[in-house]
């Protein structure tokens, strides 16, 4: 293949910005890059002076015509756009609309529209089986709200873009509602993936749409080649939740209080390595279409296995914070109670204000369930090796947190 034009819906987000910078630094054949996002960042201006033609397009993935216009003429689309909301800021309907598709062509084990509350997709991963989506009846066209990931797929098909890389998530697999641990598992590890929260539900559905689109004929007759990357919890420069923990620690006099047992391992991966995996997949999909098409890959690197809080302290301790307690300060039942109380307050206050604290039943369950991956599938399939060592990732993240500190003073 000669020169490459790439499209990146979601290119202004935390991960998207790293993907954009990585493409520009590490993809010599790139001649044009279209960054498509609801909110364009001011940092885009500095990219426009380089040899690659960079076009920033403000647009909405739920608007089919906007997506199609942005995708037309590209070789590869890296779809990192999404509504990452586990705090109840957006409605389940909005999360579904942005992350998956419009009402109601997908149903999950029940009637459409109830998915966000009662019926979640439930499937078993790692059994070599992928269940078909259950397709419901289509509504009259005037009732169709616009879909997100489905629009990206249709745009590729209609405009003839042959390669689609989708940013999925570990959340597609788990932790599940039963709190089963996933201990150093890989892409083939059996695990009962049962979701009840709109975010993992939407990611699971969107991933299936993307994988099932593999092999569809795009304009011109060639087959669409798709694959999905599943990062665990991403950290690094630009990580909003890390910033929140840092500020919370400052407010508490330089202390954070342990809430989760140190024995609960949580998978984390450095944003630079996640971006690098996306670039490699985009590069290799053409040559290795038969092997990689329709596949999922966990995103991994050499980041150590630790609890969520202990891992964060790798960056926050050098910035002057300390984690109080070798064991959780509050009993678990009290955390469960507080999480439920937060959920109730969110619901009660909704007509007046948006109350969306970090602690809710879902975030507590995720933080309190071991979920770590150990795999080399990406290395075997397309030669992935982490670009950043753990030491490098750590240093870069610490420097960024220190920058957050000085910029907020
Ligand atoms: N942050 C994490 O730890 C993980 C994130 N992911 C996935 O990675 C992807 C990127 O996540 P982050 O960078 O963390 O989130 P982010 O919120 O920083 O970035 C998402 C981007 O998508 C854009 N976007 C949202 N709605 C849009 C719409 N309707 N039209 C166009 N653009 C829209 C946002 O403006 C934002 O720039 C998401 O798909 C997320 O599900 C997966 C695993 C872990
Ligand atoms: C105060 C609590 C006890 C601790 C709160 C921590 C939580 C806010 C976070 C713990 C685990 C995080 C999630 C995890 O890293 C997996 C994710 C993958 C994604 O695709 C999106 C983000 C997230 C759901 C991430 C969100 C924050 C946590 C729940």
Dihedral sign computed on CA atoms, order 89, 110, 204, 216: negative
Characterize the bridge pairing of strands 295-299 and 225-231.
parallel
Q: What is the ipTM of this complex?
A: 0.98
Interval between CA 80 and ligand 1 midpoint (Å): 6
Question: Dihedral angle at the C-alpha atoms of 378, 381, 387, 388, nearest 10 degrees?
Answer: 20
Cβ(312) – ligand 2 distance below 6 Å: no
Structure tokens that stand for 386 in this block:
């982490």
* Element at 348 (helix H, strand E): helix 332-349
Contact present, 41 and 115 (Cβ < 8 Å): no
Q: Give the pLDDT confidence score for residue 111 in this predicted structure.
A: 23
pLDDT digits (tens, 9 = 90+) for 279-333: 999 999 999 999 999 999 999 999 999 999 999 999 999 999 999 999 999 999 9
Q: Residue 149's closest CA among 131, 129, 167, 173?
A: 167
**Given ligand 1 and candidates 14, 146, 149, 232, which is best to mutate, with the most ligand atoms within 8 Å of its CB?**
14
**Given ligand 1 and candidates 11, 15, 87, 234, which is best to mutate, with the most ligand atoms within 8 Å of its CB?**
15
Q: Give the pLDDT confidence score for residue 408 in this predicted structure.
A: 60
Q: Give the pLDDT confidence score for residue 102 in this predicted structure.
A: 55
Q: Give the pLDDT confidence score for residue 121 in this predicted structure.
A: 43
Q: Give the pLDDT confidence score for residue 371 in this predicted structure.
A: 97
On average, the pLDDT of the chain sits at 88
pLDDT digits (tens, 9 = 90+) for 223-264: 999 999 999 999 999 999 999 999 999 999 999 999 999 999
Instruction: Assess whether pLDDT exceeds 70 at residue 107.
Output: no
Q: Give the pLDDT confidence score for residue 299 in this predicted structure.
A: 98
**Looking only at Cα atoms, what is the longest distance across the chain?**
62
Q: What is the mean pLDDT of residues 94-121?
A: 47
Cβ(83) – ligand 1 distance below 6 Å: yes
**N- to C-terminal Cα distance for the chain?**
49
**Given ligand 2 and candidates 13, 15, 363, which is best to mutate, with the most ligand atoms within 8 Å of its CB?**
363
**Beta-carbon count within 10 A of 18 CB:** 25
Structure tokens that stand for 299 in this block:
């995103």
Q: What is the mean pLDDT of residues 38-52?
A: 92
Cβ(198) – ligand 2 distance below 6 Å: no
Of 66-70, 114-118, 327-331, least confident by mean pLDDT is 114-118
Q: Which atom of ligand 2 is nearest to the CA of 169?
A: 20
Residue 193 phi/psi, 5-degree rounding, is: -90, 100
Contact present, 47 and 8 (Cβ < 8 Å): no
Cβ(171) – ligand 2 distance below 6 Å: yes
Q: Give the pLDDT confidence score for residue 116 in this predicted structure.
A: 26
pTM of the model: 0.91
Q: Give the pLDDT confidence score for residue 5 in this predicted structure.
A: 83
Q: Residue 265's closest CA among 184, 323, 200, 169?
A: 184
Q: What is the mean pLDDT of residues 266-274?
A: 98
Q: Give the pLDDT confidence score for residue 137 in this predicted structure.
A: 36
Dihedral sign computed on CA atoms, order 280, 283, 289, 294: positive
**Which of helix, strand or coil describes residue 386?**
coil
Q: What is the mean pLDDT of residues 11-24?
A: 96
pLDDT digits (tens, 9 = 90+) for 207-226: 999 999 999 999 999 999 99
Q: What is the mean pLDDT of residues 42-47?
A: 92
Take atom 14 of ligand 2 and give the residue whose Cα is closest: 233
| Cα–Cα distance list, 67 to 13, 97, 162 (Å) | 17, 14, 15
Instruction: Assess whether pLDDT exceeds 50 at residue 131.
Output: no
Cβ(116) – ligand 2 distance below 6 Å: no
Catalytic residues: 199
Q: Give the pLDDT confidence score for residue 100 in this predicted structure.
A: 85
């Amino acid at each position: 293949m000669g020169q490459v034009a790439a499209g990146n819906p979601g290119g202004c987000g935390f991960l998207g910005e790293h993907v954009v910078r990585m493409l520009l630094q590490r993809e010599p054949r790139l001649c044009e890059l279209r960054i498509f996002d609801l909110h364009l960042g001011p940092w885009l201006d500095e990219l426009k002076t380089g040899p690659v033609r960079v076009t920033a397009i403000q647009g909405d993935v739920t608007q089919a015509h906007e997506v199609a216009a942005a995708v037309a003429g590209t070789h590869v689309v890296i779809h990192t756009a999404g509504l990452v909301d586990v705090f109840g800021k957006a409605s389940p309907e909005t999360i579904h609309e942005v992350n998956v598709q419009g009402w109601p062509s997908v149903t999950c084990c029940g009637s459409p529209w109830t998915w966000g509350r009662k019926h979640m997709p439930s499937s078993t991963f790692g059994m070599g089986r992928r269940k078909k989506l259950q397709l419901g009846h289509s509504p009259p066209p005037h009732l169709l709200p616009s879909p997100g990931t489905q629009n990206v797929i249709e745009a590729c098909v209609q405009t003839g873009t042959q390669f689609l890389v989708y940013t999925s998530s570990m959340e597609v697999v788990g932790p599940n509602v039963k709190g089963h641990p996933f201990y150093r598992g890989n892409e083939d590890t059996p695990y009962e993936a049962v979701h009840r929260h709109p975010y993992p539900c939407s990611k699971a559905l969107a991933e299936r749409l993307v994988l099932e689109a593999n092999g569809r004929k795009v304009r011109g007759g060639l087959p669409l080649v798709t694959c999905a990357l599943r990062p665990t919890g991403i950290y690094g420069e630009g990580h909003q939740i890390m910033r929140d923990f840092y500020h919370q620690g400052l407010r508490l006099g330089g202390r954070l209080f342990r809430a989760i047992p140190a024995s609960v391992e949580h998978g984390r991966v450095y944003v630079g390595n996640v971006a690098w995996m996306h670039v490699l997949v985009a590069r290799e999909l053409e040559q290795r279409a038969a092997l990689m098409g329709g596949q999922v890959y966990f995103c991994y690197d050499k980041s150590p296995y630790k609890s969520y809080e202990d891992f964060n302290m790798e960056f926050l301790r050098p910035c002057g914070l300390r984690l109080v307690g070798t064991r959780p300060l509050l009993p678990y039942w009290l955390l469960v109670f507080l999480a439920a109380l937060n959920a109730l307050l969110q619901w009660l206050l909704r007509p007046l204000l948006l109350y969306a604290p970090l602690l809710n039943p879902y975030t507590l369950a995720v933080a309190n369930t071991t979920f770590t991956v150990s795999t080399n599938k990406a290395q075997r399939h397309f030669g992935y090796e982490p670009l950043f060592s753990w030491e490098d990732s750590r240093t870069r993240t610490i420097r960024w947190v220190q920058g957050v500190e000085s910029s907020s003073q």
